[in-house]
């Protein structure tokens, strides 16, 4: 397979080995997080929220994208409450199931979350025919994106769920006049890995927040 970024060819065997390594790691990470109790997930989420609320980037940024958490992700409810408390603009993902396309649409209020329809992935997101919300890149862009993921390492490498939503969106951000936003991943300590296998399409994260003991 030809890689135009560095004019090299990557063999199909190497690509297959990379995909297999990612899939094996995803399985292991899902097992690790599934072993956590609901109380432990909530405890670590509270620790990370407090870290974030003191973070200079979070304090200075006005337009912030945050994911609505699934059961195996750091809880973001308190973060969303804090965004509205301080009058920051809050954007949330809308995933297109048939592709790797994702938009970040403005959330109007805390109460707005409860009105969002549930997808088949059991995620709340704006409906496809909801035209009343600002898409972040159609306006002033984003200052900060809080990133989900299945696994992370300390070099900024991230393992997602394999659909490429965030990597594709970050490439769009890079082309936006406001440039690439700062990225902070929120991770349970059990999601930290020695090394995440990546390819040329994986965009590095600026910083990983986790409970550092």
Residue 105 counted as domain residue: yes
Identify the H or E element spanning 180: none
Domain boundaries, position 96 = 11-209
Q: Is 156 annotated as a binding residue?
A: no
Contact 88, 64 (CB under 8 A): yes
DSSP string, 69-134: P-TTS---HHHHHHHHHTT-EEEEEEE-TTSS-EEEEEE--HHHHHHSPB-TTS-B---TT--SSP
Residue 88 counted as domain residue: yes
Count how many Cα atoms sit within 13 Å of the Cα of residue 165 in the half-sphere of its side chain. Answer: 17
19: left (phi over 0), alpha (psi -120 to 50) or beta: alpha
Residue 6 counted as domain residue: no
Indicate if the pLDDT at residue 4 is higher than 70.
no
Q: Is 51 annotated as a binding residue?
A: no
Q: Which pTM value belongs to this model?
A: 0.90
Q: Is 165 annotated as a binding residue?
A: yes
pLDDT in tens, 152-192: 999 999 999 988 899 999 999 999 998 899 999 999 999 99
* CA separation for the pair 89, 64 (Å, rounded): 6
What's the domain count of the chain? 1
* CA separation for the pair 143, 37 (Å, rounded): 33
Residue 2 counted as domain residue: no
* CA separation for the pair 129, 33 (Å, rounded): 34
Q: Is 24 annotated as a binding residue?
A: yes
Distance, C-alpha 184 to centroid of its chain: 8
Residue 1 counted as domain residue: no
Q: Is 158 annotated as a binding residue?
A: yes
Residue 3 counted as domain residue: no
User: Which neighbouring-strand residues pair with 145?
Assistant: 65, 183
CA angle 173, 179, 182 (to 5 degrees): 80
Poorest-confidence range of 8-17, 30-39, 115-124, 131-140? 8-17
Indicate if the pLDDT at residue 3 is higher than 50.
no
Residue 26 counted as domain residue: yes
Residue 162 counted as domain residue: yes
Indicate if the pLDDT at residue 86 is higher than 80.
yes
Q: Is 159 annotated as a binding residue?
A: yes
Q: Is 53 annotated as a binding residue?
A: no
Arithmetic mean of pLDDT, 137-155: 95
Q: Is 151 annotated as a binding residue?
A: no
Q: Is 171 annotated as a binding residue?
A: no
Kindly report the CATH number assigned to the domain that includes residue 189: 3.40.50.10420
Q: Is 160 annotated as a binding residue?
A: yes
């Amino acid at each position: 397979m030809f890689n135009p970024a560095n004019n090299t060819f990557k063999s199909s065997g190497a690509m297959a080995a990379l995909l297999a390594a990612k899939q094996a790691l995803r399985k292991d990470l899902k097992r690790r997080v599934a072993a956590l109790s609901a109380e432990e997930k909530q405890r670590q989420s509270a620790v990370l929220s407090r870290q974030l609320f003191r973070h200079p980037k979070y304090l200075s940024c006005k337009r912030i994208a945050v994911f609505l958490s699934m059961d195996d992700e750091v809880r973001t409810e308190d973060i969303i409450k804090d965004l509205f408390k301080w009058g920051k603009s809050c954007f949330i993902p809308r995933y297109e199931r048939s592709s790797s396309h994702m938009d970040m649409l403005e959330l109007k209020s805390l109460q707005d979350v409860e009105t969002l329809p549930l997808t088949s992935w059991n995620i709340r997101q704006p409906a496809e025919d909801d035209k009343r919300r600002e898409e972040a890149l159609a306006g002033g862009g984003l200052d900060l994106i809080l990133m989900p993921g299945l696994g992370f390492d300390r070099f900024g490498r991230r393992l997602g769920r394999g659909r490429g939503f965030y990597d594709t969106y970050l490439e769009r951000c890079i082309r936006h006049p406001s440039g690439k936003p700062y990225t902070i991943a929120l991770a349970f300590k059990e999601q930290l890995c020695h090394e995440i296998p990546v390819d040329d399409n994986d965009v590095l994260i600026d910083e990983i927040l986790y409970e550092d003991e």
